[in-house]
Amino acid sequence: MPPKAVGIDLGLVSLVTLDDGGTVDHPRLLKKYEKQLARLQKELHRKQRGSSNREKTRAKIARLYALISDVRKDGLDQLTTRLVRENQVLVVEDLGVANLLRSVKLRNAITDASWGTLLDMLRYKAAWYGRTLVVVDRFFPSTRLCSACRAKGEQLDLSVRSWTCAVCGAVHDRDGNAAVNLRDEGLRLYWLVAMALPPDRTPPPVIRASELPECVTAA
């Protein structure tokens, strides 16, 4: 019986889009608390350095950041546990989060989304639950590959949320199409690894396309 698989596309419009079209909203916690944080920061700058009132304000800021972190972590913990429990194979894209954080335009949004924490949770929970996380190569054209006919479209600007395949006419939601393509590519890689193992061996908890021989990953 084939394993149940899910393609997981991480984004900044929706935090997560799944291959069945389901989405998880972006909590945008820093955005939610930005006015409160700004007010406390202004209050901190008005307090005299070394004063007890300044330290009290600093403590309030620290508590607010701790609250944001706890709420974010709890949401990601619930999401990743559900995904790992419901699926045997989970497929994501190698996003290169560290490199993306260098972008001034994207840095705050990616930090708020906490992609790195989400991926870390999927990684260690896959090992806990005996699942496999497949990390598809970052150069795989998940967004512009038509999931209906496999034709490759043109590069899409980040602002483009839907597109129509010039070959078959299928209309795609950008993130939903990417999630379907990730699932299919992840399953292909999963079976390449699984079929190469001895009968008594199971696939490892993490399969990275970037660590597999090029001759194996080539479609």
Q: Is 96 left (phi over 0), alpha (psi -120 to 50) or beta?
A: left
What crossing angle do the helices spanning 115-129 and 104-113 adopt, rounded to 10°? 40
Which active-site residues does the annotation give? 9, 93, 175
84 neighbors 129 (Cβ within 8 angstroms): yes
Laid out side by side, the sheet with 23-25 consists of 23-25, 14-18, 5-10, 89-93, 132-136, 206-208
